[in-house]
Amino acid sequence: MSLFFKDENAEDSELAEANYSGSIGERIDIDDEFSIYLASKKVREAGKRCGLNKTQLEEVEIALRELVSNVMKYGGGRGMLHIFDPEITMDALILEIQDWGEGINDLHKALEDGYTTGSSMGGGLPAVNRLMDSFEYISQSKRGAKLRISKKAHGQMEKFQPWRFGVYSRPFIGEVENGDGFFLKNSDDIIVAAVVDGLGHGVEAFKATKITLRIIEDYYRWPEEELIKILHEKLHGTRGVALGFLRTKPNSDTVNYTGIGNVFGHLINTNITTFVNYNGTLGIKLRKFRSYEYPYKKGDIIVMHSDGISIRWLDDFKQIWSGDLQGFSHHVIKKYSRANDDASIIAGGQL
């Protein structure tokens, strides 16, 4: 077990943000005693993806309950749990929990068994310190306290081969608001990837895409046909969007894809299969459509992107593919995107 103390006003420590900057995958509000149930579920999913075994998952859950309890008792009753993206942290589960209380005046005393500033037994933070591989306190001065904990996987990974993704998205060159967007859900029971392209660019395209992503977050497990109908209804009055939506399960030998409008989806192995897309714009005009099922095997690559990227990259795929999903995504945007449009790409698979 390692203990780190870091003042946010100081330079980065050895466990610095360098390796994990921008890697926070999910944020969960901690605002009542029931928050622990959703938090535990999400943390367990992330832990499995990192390869934590049953005992480790139980230890993490105990530590999480102690920290959530501290937020409610001493942290002003309000906090936030950050779950770092397992796609970035690989075999280490990293969590941050932040509150808006008075902070911790003396961390070393707080980590002594029996020490407490309240009416509890004082077992919370010392227990967390023992259970986790690392325990970092990030000073928040008058803004409460932030704690970062981690647990590294030992033993075998879960039986399913994990999916990995690379993503990249940028707005129309010279603009701030991005009319494109993407959605990823990579858990132990479902894989979802979506590319959203708001019609045109700028603020109105951004608003339509933001609504779409919020709806997908709420309904991504629904049948594709129902999800598309909900999106079409809720997007009335907006600029409208094009959508590529893919869903599968870990170790499944098929993927399901639904495409509406001018976005692109491809499955690449020894051949290139381009997914079927239907004409239309969600929120404006939706004709008859359906989802398609495509065979998938380990090693196949899925690439989905908006029309801000030319499909000329397909001709050069063998030259530009290096096995690095994120590097590939960045290269395609850099070389094959149009400066006068938003551009987004998702590349993924069981690699």
Instruction: Report the number of distinct structural domains present in the chain.
Output: 2
Q: Which domain holds residue 111?
A: 2-152
User: In whole angstroms, what is the distance from residue 325 CA to residue 302 CA?
Assistant: 10
CA distance 313 to 331: 10
Asked whether residue 158 is assigned to any structural domain, the reply reads no
Along the 351 residues of the chain, how does pLDDT read in single tens digits? 333 333 333 333 333 333 333 345 788 999 887 888 899 999 999 999 888 988 889 889 988 988 888 888 877 788 899 998 887 777 889 998 888 877 665 555 555 544 344 433 334 677 787 788 887 776 554 567 788 888 888 754 445 568 899 999 999 998 889 999 999 988 777 899 999 999 999 999 999 999 999 999 889 989 999 999 999 999 999 999 999 999 999 889 999 999 999 999 999 999 999 999 999 999 999 988 999 999 999 999 999 999 999 999 999 999 999 899 999 999 999 999 999 999 999 999 998
> What pLDDT is stored for residue 124 in this prediction?
62
Q: What is the pLDDT of residue 190?
A: 87
> What's residue 16's pLDDT?
33
Same domain, residue pair 179 and 247: yes
The pLDDT of residue 212 is 96
Residue 127 and residue 106 share a domain: yes
Per the domain annotation, does 219 fall within a domain?
Answer: yes
d(CA 166, CA 328): 8
User: What is the Cα Rg of the chain in Å?
Assistant: 22
Q: Are 281 and 321 in contact (CB under 8 A)?
A: no
Residue 157 lies in a domain: no
Distance between CA atoms of 206 and 344, rounded to whole angstroms?
13
Q: How many residues can be counted in the chain?
A: 351
Last residue of a domain, one of 104, 132, 152: 152
Domain co-membership, 140 together with 210: no
* Claim to verify: residue 143 and residue 170 sit in the same structural domain: no
Helices (H), the chain: 35-50, 54-74, 86-89, 107-110, 124-131, 203-219, 224-234, 317-320, 325-336
In a domain, 13, yes or no: yes
